């Protein structure tokens, strides 16, 4: 971070592991101090690891600025049963809580976690058994995003118990 009077500049510095060159990615440029939210300013001044991680690994924002990004589609999944017993459920409700942005498409993520095919997910979406909030066209084909809510109606599905077990286990 650098300050010149009331103006603030902030960067993330990346270093190439291959050639040891560095690159500064601008987060703030000549921003007026009073226009910056106090929580953000405090996080910048304290080199907050959560803020750094949020911006440093945001592949979507980086794509327009650099030629090549090595992405790792692996995500850590923590599952928590919030209410009721899985064996009694007729629908599955999921909420994604992501620490950082991921390039992993929502359909690939859900298919892997639930042990089903992506085409089955698409079929459910067409039949309105799968609802994604916030809803937008082709949400299954876009990267998984934080706070995305997914509801799947499993009424009449022969493998309902297996899907619920995969979701809660």
pLDDT digits 0-9 by tens, 26-70: 889 999 988 999 999 999 888 898 888 888 777 777 777 777 766
> Where are the chain's structural domains?
2-56, 86-168
Residue spans of the chain under pLDDT 70: 69-88, 100-101
Q: What is the DSSP letter of 143?
A: B
The C-alpha torsion from 142 through 146 and 148 to 150, rounded to 10°, is 90
Tell me the chain's radius of gyration from C-alpha atoms: 21
Token readout for 67 is 């030629």
Six token digits for residue 40? 């953000």
**Where is 158: in which H helix or E strand?**
none
- What CATH number is given for 86-168 in this structure? 3.10.290
Q: Output the pLDDT for position 75.
A: 62
Q: Give every CB contact of residue 49 below 8 A, 6+ residues apart in sequence.
A: none
């Amino acid at each position: 971070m650098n300050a010149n009077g009331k103006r603030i500049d902030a960067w993330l510095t990346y270093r190439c592991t291959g050639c040891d060159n560095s690159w500064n990615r601008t987060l703030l440029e000549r921003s007026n101090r009073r226009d910056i939210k106090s929580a953000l300013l405090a996080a910048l001044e304290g080199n907050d690891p959560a803020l750094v991680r949020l911006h440093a690994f945001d592949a979507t924002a980086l794509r327009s600025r650099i030629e090549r990004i090595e992405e790792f589609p692996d995500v850590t999944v923590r599952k928590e049963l919030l209410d009721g017993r899985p064996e009694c459920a007729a629908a599955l409700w999921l909420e994604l809580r992501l620490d950082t942005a991921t390039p992993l498409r929502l359909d690939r993520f859900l298919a892997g976690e639930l042990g089903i095919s992506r085409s089955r997910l698409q079929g459910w979406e067409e039949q309105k058994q799968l609802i994604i909030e916030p809803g937008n066209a082709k949400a299954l084909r876009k990267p998984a995003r934080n706070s995305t809510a997914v509801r799947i109606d499993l009424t009449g599905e022969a493998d309902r118990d297996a899907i619920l077990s995969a979701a809660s286990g």
